[in-house]
Structure 1
Amino acid sequence: MNRYKLSKGLILVLLLIMMPYISGCSHKKVVLDIEKVASEIASKDYFGEDFFTVESNAILQMYGVEIKDVKVVGYKSSGGLADELTFFEATNEEDAKSVYDLASEHIADSKEGYQSYKPDEVYKLEHAILLREGNYVIVCVNGSYDDLKTLIKSYLK
């Protein structure tokens, strides 16, 4: 009987020691090369020929991001279309949450602007993809939102 208690106690101690290692493996930190990933996605057939790179300073200003050291890569359609693809990389999760909030506001403002300008584009904005994973925030506006969401999430694994 003492042997049974000793074995049970030993197993319990081992589990307690291993718990931080076991739980730490359950959440993998995502690391992206935002320029590469954005370029790969932007080159897909979902976006037309008039999908062009936007200067990072212009994107930061367009979204109202004033947070230091936020990297950004973005693409936008010409011809008055709402289509866009933007990847932000913040230095920490707190800043990423702030960028996410600003991106949400940007989408809401764009919806309002397109209501009177090009109402057909509002549907895309109503189904805009807005994701945050760790230090990354991704915005994608396109009519093929389901397929693009699946594609974008595949990079976040």
Structure 2
Amino acid sequence: MATVRSLLYTSYTDIGLLWLRLAGSFILFQVHGWPKVIHYSEELTRIEDPFGTGPAFPLLTAIFAEVVCPLFIAAGLLTRLACLPVIGVLLVAMVAVHPEWSIAQGQFGWLLLTVFVGIALCGPGRWSVDATMVGKPAPSRSPARP
């Protein structure tokens, strides 16, 4: 019974991590990343430049974090590493670009930050390219003791 319970726990955890990777990546890509690519010229005129580097650098950084990295995260390829630019861009947006926002005003950004920090901490799970490349079986978990 303990083995079945452990297997179910691991499977549900892996399903949850897969869901977070796919859903979070899709939302970030669709809502933030792809519009920046298809409206690049327009975005150059309105993107914030919190560090005075000119508009091209923050826009290209955002495109990398919101288009390229979500593709890697969704596939589970170099997942933890791919989460770092996403987390960085979200932190800059929430802390440096929009410090006046309340949590309610910035809830979408904070929620995305929560999702990608969680993925970075937990890893991609068993259903990922990372797990396939490493070739190690997922560690078995001991069931909780009553």
Say yes or no: TM over 0.5: no
So what's the TM-score if we normalise by structure 1? 0.34
Report which of the two has the higher share of strand. 1
Write 1 or 2 for the structure with the bigger share of helix. 2
Relative contact order: is structure 1 or structure 2 higher (C-alpha 8 Å, sep ≥ 6)? 2
Q: Which has the larger radius of gyration?
A: 1
TM-score of the pair, normalised by structure 2: 0.36
